């Protein structure tokens, strides 16, 4: 048994969608969450900057003696996962491989849409992973840059979100996709709005659950599972105290949370 915690980080609060699934799949594990709220969004930033931010987040989480880390951010996964895995001697996983695998399995007509930040879409990381599974699948990407600030503002289920979704998703609807990957961990918080726009016939793929399952399998393989009987605890850290973060997190996770600020530039 390994009682050390698991680190989870995201550019903001979107990674809570992954954290929630990890809590379901691995309820006995202690978790440490870091949201880089001072520097959200990551999408428009360069690969070098995102790598720097990723390494700082990992360095901070390592001070909490974590045994594994989940990069719960599609942009950071696309831009820095490989480099992070090479740099650190600890299991580190991202969210893109799990999302690609789920999308490939879910499509019936071989047309998959990917929505994400500008950085994720430009990287074509999802395209690459899906093509590894089935070269016949057609993949269409759409950058939805306004979705992250809409979620961070707490406007996920508003008319603003609906109109934005309508504008962004028109292209994918015209392409006839039958599956859309929510290629940013903020986007599951917009699932209802997106679903109402594209209709029930289009499957919305949330990579979070498959990522949590992948994490469990890695912990089992490396004998790192925490087998205690009581439920795990979760600590939350951010790089900037945003008054909306705790309230949105409490509403989404259905539990009270306390948030501590970290001077992330030190790491």
Q: Is the distance from CB of 244 to CB of 56 less than 8 angstroms? A: no
User: Active-site residues: which are they?
Assistant: 73, 184
């Amino acid at each position: 048994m390994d009682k050390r915690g698991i680190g989870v980080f995201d550019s903001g609060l979107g990674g809570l969608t992954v954290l929630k699934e990890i809590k379901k799949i691995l309820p006995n594990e202690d978790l440490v969450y870091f949201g880089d709220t001072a520097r959200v969004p990551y999408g428009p930033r360069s690969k070098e900057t995102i790598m720097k931010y990723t390494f700082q987040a990992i360095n901070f989480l390592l001070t909490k003696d974590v045994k594994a880390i989940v990069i719960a951010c599609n942009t950071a996964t696309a831009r820095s996962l490989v480099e992070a895995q090479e740099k650190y001697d600890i299991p580190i996983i991202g969210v893109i491989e799990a999302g690609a695998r789920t999308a490939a399995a879910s499509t019936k007509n071989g047309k998959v849409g990917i929505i994400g930040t500008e950085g994720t879409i430009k990287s074509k990381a999802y395209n690459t992973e899906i093509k590894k599974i089935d070269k016949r699948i057609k993949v269409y990407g759409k950058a939805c840059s306004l979705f992250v600030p809409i979620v961070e503002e707490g406007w996920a289920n508003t008319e603003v979100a609906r109109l934005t979704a309508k504008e962004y998703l028109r292209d994918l609807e015209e392409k006839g996709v039958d599956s859309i990957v929510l290629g940013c961990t903020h986007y599951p918080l917009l699932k209802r709005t997106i679903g109402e726009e594209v209709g029930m016939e289009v499957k919305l793929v949330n990579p979070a659950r498959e990522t949590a399952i992948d994490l469990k399998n890695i912990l089992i393989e490396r004998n790192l599972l925490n087998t205690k009987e009581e439920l795990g605890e979760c600590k939350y850290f951010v790089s900037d105290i945003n008054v909306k973060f705790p309230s949105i997190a409490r509403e989404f996770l259905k539990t009270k949370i306390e948030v501590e600020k970290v001077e992330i530039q030190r790491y």
